[in-house]
Amino acid sequence: MRHSLDSITDKFKQVFATNPTVWADAGGRVNIIGEHTDYHDGFVLPTAIDLRSYAVASGREDGILRIYAADYDSTVEVALEGLEPFQQVDWRSYTCGPFWSWIGAGRPFSGADVAIASNVPSGGGLSSSASIEVSMLGIAKTLSCENPSCLDIAIIARAAENHFCHVPCGIMDQMASSCGQKDKALLIDCRSLETRLVATPTNWVLVVADSGVRHSLAAGEYAKRQVECKTGMETIISSYPDVKVARDVSMDMLNSVKDRISEVSFRRLRHAISENERTTKAADAFEAGDVHLTGQLMRQSHQSLAKDYEVSCQELDTLVQIASGIEGCVGARLTGAGFGGNTVNLVHKDAADNFCSELKAKYHKASGIETIVRIVRPSAGLLTGRF
Ligand code: GLA
């Protein structure tokens, strides 16, 4: 781990020549199953992890926000009054946007000096952006002595990502990063925003493996999937007026309109519907300790994402295929938006060290890419405090 609360506190002192008064630390997340379902009001099963973002701050009264990002060794300074989304979206948007969104939600805030650092790999499908947004809101909450729920924080963070960073994401990442709990996964109903805590089975660990690929087309393709589903949904809604979103559609309904929607929309919706079924089943199996069923559903999820939703890539498929042949691994799939980033693997704890080295070596042989394979622990979401 590169960063910690201690290291970012030292940086804060160097940059701002004073001591911070508050801290916040929020998890990245790994999604076990339930991919590309959150923006269809469906189900997801993520957990916050121990790769995290760390922020420290002291308050100001003059309406100025200064943020130092250790990962870029750079500082942004803005006046809160009249703050608007930046022309170009970069780290400044992800750090300033949450404060803009916080004020937009009617919460008080008079300015701050903030330092932030993240151990969540950027663009790797492990929600580095959500963990940064949520840690920024942890600072806003602690400095302003407000007491929003973890769900309130997730909603405000998502609004920042949607409207300040212009990313049309669902709520999964921000909820995991804000509401996660140690040793638990969260089954989130993305319509009601209710969560059920799902205990992670003892003796099994989650391993993430980085494909090393970062596809810049991910953002455009992500929005395109939403359009492809929407087009199919219009036909379904015209036949079934009670239906509002893909979450309401059964496989029978989808099949009944098969010859009236495009083949692409059909496959996209087939993924959204089948993934919801797999996710609720996997949550029950996970909780009951039936890791083999959970793993089987994870493998099916990957196939559906690769073939029907088409958000995988050759490197992710290679990682999943190699992982599935290594002893002790019962399930492997891409995690997050796809098109690169990480896979998540469910592995017996006694086999985990060997799994990590074998996957790394075999992936390198197959692709020429040096990957990082690591065990991640289901962890708390947002933690905050005062010095
Ligand atoms: C990204 C988005 C999430 C979700 C996933 C895919 O991580 O931020 O809202 O849609 O992709 O499941």
Considering only CA atoms, which residue is closest to atom 1 of ligand 1? 337
**Distance from the CA of 17 to the center of ligand 1, in angstroms?**
38
Report the nearest atom of ligand 1 relative to the CA of 337: 11
Ligand 1 pocket mutation pick from 169, 224, 271, 304 by most atoms within 8 angstroms of CB:
169
For residue 218, pLDDT beyond 70 = no
Range 5-199+379-386 classified under CATH 3.30.230.10: yes
pLDDT, one tens digit per residue, over 29-64 is: 999 999 999 999 999 999 999 999 999 999 999 999
For residue 226, pLDDT beyond 70 = yes
pLDDT band for position 1 (cuts 50, 70, 90): low
Length of the chain in terms of residues written: 387
Q: Looking only at Cα atoms, what is the longest distance across the chain?
A: 67
**Distance from the CA of 45 to the center of ligand 1, in angstroms?**
12
The CATH-assigned architecture of domain 205-376 is 2-Layer Sandwich (3.30)
Domain ranges of the chain: 5-199+379-386, 205-376
Q: Do domains 5-199+379-386 and 205-376 have the same CATH topology?
A: no
Between 27-41, 212-226, 263-277, 336-350, the lowest mean confidence (pLDDT) is in 212-226
For residue 263, pLDDT beyond 80 = yes
pLDDT at 63: 98
**Distance from the CA of 213 to the center of ligand 1, in angstroms?**
17
Report the nearest atom of ligand 1 relative to the CA of 125: 7
pLDDT, one tens digit per residue, over 266-281 is: 999 999 999 999 999 9
**CB of 161 within 8 A of CB of 358?**
no
**Distance from the CA of 381 to the center of ligand 1, in angstroms?**
17
Average pLDDT over residues 196-221: 89
pLDDT band for position 219 (cuts 50, 70, 90): confident
pLDDT, one tens digit per residue, over 116-156 is: 999 999 989 999 999 999 999 999 999 999 999 999 999 99
pLDDT at 215: 72
* Percent of the chain clearing pLDDT 70 (strictly above): 99
Taking CB atoms and a 6 Å cutoff, what residues make up the pocket around ligand 1?
35-36, 38-39, 169-170, 172-173, 336-337
Q: What share of the chain is helix, strand, coil (3-state, %, to 5)?
A: 45, 25, 30
pLDDT at 297: 98
Report the nearest atom of ligand 1 relative to the CA of 37: 12
Give me the residue label for tokens 């039936």. Answer: 290
Helix or strand (DSSP H, E) at 133: helix 128-144
SS3 370: coil
Report the nearest atom of ligand 1 relative to the CA of 35: 12
Catalytic residue numbers, as ranges: 173
For residue 217, pLDDT beyond 60 = no
